[in-house]
């Protein structure tokens, strides 16, 4: 009897410990499809995500954010931030979100590429049916599974688990007994019990590498890595900006024209030579019209302050 109690306690401690380690970094994601005339956001659904970078990067499923016009990320401690999609890949059902720089004060989960075994204890933390910070536990049932999710997309090399996964869990972490993320929960087979699936971390890290290469080429001649980013409505209104979004600078490369013009990471470009910039594509279109030998004027937000700088492009 004592041995049985000890075994039960060991299991409970493992589940509790894993949940406590990853829990602070697990977020709720609210996807808003549109805004009403009163300015209120209409919800398009909820999902989960996990912060993996203290600069504000969040992993989730691509299907959680696919149709969203705007996104909100809420932490377990109650803090809430607007978010934008930094990159996404529907073929593996993964997306990376970015929230504003918070001084590297965000809790971060550890990603693990350690080898997994069938029968291994795993824990999921997420927000099923809007019930925040829900913990469920089970085992890895199988590895290398395939799952068709649409006529054109089949997810491969998935982790199969008996951990309960419900609507709202999508995008949350599947962690090992040490609280390390081994997968991102993605789907449950309809009408089946005890059949959940997660994208393994090795697929996550490969996807992150591909997305990073893509971002580094989007800034073109400016020498920046960028993404489309929603602006706070009050800031856009106070600064009399015609658009409610801009191009967030994720990275400004040293020695680049943007760096020479004193632009910084987390600045948001809102205009180029007087033309409004609402997304990454607007930057590409604006730069195609520019003579590289001539300078151009960039309008940007740094926090809520509107500034301008002259950029001389490399020929």
The residues that are catalytic are 63, 93, 170
Reduced DSSP (H G I as helix, E B as strand, rest coil) percent helix, strand, coil of the chain, to 5: 25, 40, 35
Q: What is the DSSP string of 12-56?
A: HHHHHHHHHHHGGGEEEEEEEEEE-TTSPEEEEEEEEEEEEETTT
| CB neighbour list of residue 51: distance below 8 Å, 6 or more residues apart | 25, 27, 57, 58, 75, 106, 107, 108, 109
**The two structure tokens encoding residue 226:** 């960028």
| CB neighbour list of residue 152: distance below 8 Å, 6 or more residues apart | none
Cα 134 to the center of its chain, rounded Å:
20
- Phi, psi for residue 215 in degrees, rounded to 5: -65, -35
Which uninterrupted H or E stretch holds 137?
Answer: strand 134-148
Distance CA 182, CA 113 (A): 7
Distance CA 55, CA 182 (A): 21
Residues across the chain: 315
Q: At what angle do helices 201-218 and 280-288 cross, to 10 degrees?
A: 30
The answer to whether the CB of 277 falls within 8 A of the CB of 286 is yes
Q: What is the DSSP string of 94-133?
A: EEEEE----SS-S--PPB--PPP-TT-EEEEEE-GGG-TT
């Amino acid at each position: 009897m004592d041995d049985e109690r000890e075994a039960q306690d060991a299991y409970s401690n493992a589940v509790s410990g894993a949940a406590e380690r990853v829990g602070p970094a697990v977020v709720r994601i609210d996807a808003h499809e549109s805004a009403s005339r009163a300015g209120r956001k209409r919800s398009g659904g909820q999902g989960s995500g996990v912060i993996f970078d203290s600069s504000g990067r969040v992993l989730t499923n691509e299907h959680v954010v696919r149709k969203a016009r705007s996104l909100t990320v809420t932490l377990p401690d109650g803090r809430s931030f607007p978010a934008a999609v930094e990159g996404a890949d529907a073929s593996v059902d993964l997306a990376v979100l970015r929230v504003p720089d918070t001084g590297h004060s965000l809790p971060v989960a550890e990603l693990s590429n350690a080898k997994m075994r069938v029968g291994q204890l795993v824990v999921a933390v997420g927000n099923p049916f809007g019930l925040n910070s829900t913990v469920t536990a089970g085992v890895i049932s199988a590895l290398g599974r395939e799952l068709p999710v649409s006529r054109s997309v089949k997810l491969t090399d998935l982790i199969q688990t008996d951990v309960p996964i419900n609507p709202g869990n999508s995008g949350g972490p599947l962690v090992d007994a040490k609280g390390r993320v081994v997968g991102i929960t993605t789907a449950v087979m309809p009408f089946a019990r005890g059949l959940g699936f997660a994208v393994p971390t090795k697929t996550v890290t490969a996807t992150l590498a591909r997305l990073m290469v893509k971002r580094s080429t989007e800034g073109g001649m400016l020498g920046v890595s960028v993404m489309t980013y929603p602006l706070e409505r009050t800031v856009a209104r106070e600064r009399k900006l015609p658009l409610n979004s801009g191009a967030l600078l994720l990275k400004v490369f040293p020695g680049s024209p943007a760096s020479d013009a004193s632009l910084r990471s987390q600045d948001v470009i809102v205009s180029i030579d007087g033309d409004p910039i609402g997304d990454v594509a607007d930057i590409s279109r604006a730069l195609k019209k520019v003579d590289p030998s001539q300078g151009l004027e960039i309008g940007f937000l740094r926090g809520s302050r509107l500034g301008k700088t002259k950029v001389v492009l490399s020929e």
